[in-house]
């Protein structure tokens, strides 16, 4: 591996994971939208997230590249769950409730930073490495990371809905390379999906690493780590 001068991270599943339980979501729906729904029914009614979002991602990659499409998709996701859970209300009212849930989710208390994140950001900074973000996310990503106190060790944050390009498009990786002012072979990219993260980074010339926190990945043609601190082993200790 050529000398790496920059580590670039995905966010969801790599640095953060959502913290709220279905009970908390149901309680918020009761308080903020006035819809009384049992959390057991809401849990059973939640659509499969990947499948639901893929239906909105037509053509492929357009969903995460558009703040407007993302906003509508998340509102529709929660509205669909509420309707399936038996909430009797007009669709527009359910969409409004979905908008409230979506906005509620962007509070920093609704996200958990993985335990290895801050130590790795600090160690990479100590080693003099640049660090940045490339994430399929809405325009609220930078404020969220700032409120979680992660931006002080980051040199740039690239969100798909801001650039207008989503992974695995090479264009979003080129935005990061322009910010880093480095050639792609000097940048390592770590994320938790094979197609968007590994194939996207590789196509743009970066060195890809898959983070498989649960140990479920099959044998793959890329470096795989279980935690972020293993990146330093890949970099030579």
pTM score, whole prediction: 0.94
* Stretch 63-81: mean pLDDT: 96
Please say if the pLDDT value at position 237 is more than 80. no
The Cα 118–Cα 134 span in angstroms is: 17
- The per-residue pLDDT for 34 is 84
- The per-residue pLDDT for 112 is 97
- The CATH number given to 6-16+112-234 is 3.40.50.1000
Please say if the pLDDT value at position 2 is more than 80. no
| Residue ranges covered by each domain of the chain | 6-16+112-234, 18-109
Left (φ > 0), alpha (ψ -120 to 50) or beta: where does 47 sit? beta
Which residue is associated with the tokens 């209300």?
89
Please say if the pLDDT value at position 236 is more than 90. no
> Could you give the percent of the chain with pLDDT greater than 90?
92
- The per-residue pLDDT for 61 is 87
Q: Which residues contact 106 (CB under 8 A, 6 or more apart)?
A: 140, 143, 144
């Amino acid at each position: 591996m050529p000398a790496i001068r920059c580590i670039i991270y995905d966010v969801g599943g790599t640095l953060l994971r959502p913290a709220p339980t279905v009970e908390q979501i149901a309680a918020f729906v009761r308080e903020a939208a006035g819809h009384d729904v049992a959390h057991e029914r809401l849990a059973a009614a939640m659509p499969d997230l990947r499948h639901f979002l893929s239906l909105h991602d037509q053509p492929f990659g357009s969903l995460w590249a558009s703040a407007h499409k993302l906003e509508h998709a998340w509102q529709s996701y929660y509205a669909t769950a509420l309707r399936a859970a038996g909430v009797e209300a007009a669709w527009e009212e359910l969409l409004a409730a979905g908008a409230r849930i979506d906005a509620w989710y962007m509070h920093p208390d609704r996200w958990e930073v993985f335990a290895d994140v801050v130590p790795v950001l600090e160690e990479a900074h100590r080693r003099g490495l640049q660090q940045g973000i490339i994430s399929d996310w809405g325009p609220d990503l930078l404020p969220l990371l700032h409120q979680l106190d992660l931006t002080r060790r980051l040199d740039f944050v690239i969100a798909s809905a801001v650039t207008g390009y989503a992974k695995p498009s090479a264009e979003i990786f080129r935005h990061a390379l322009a910010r880093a002012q480095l050639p792609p072979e000097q940048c390592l990219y770590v994320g938790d999906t094979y197609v968007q993260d590994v194939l996207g980074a590789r196509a743009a010339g970066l060195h890809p690493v898959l983070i498989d926190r649960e140990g479920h990945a099959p044998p793959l043609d890329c470096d795989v780590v279980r935690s972020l601190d293993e990146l330093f082993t890949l970099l030579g200790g």
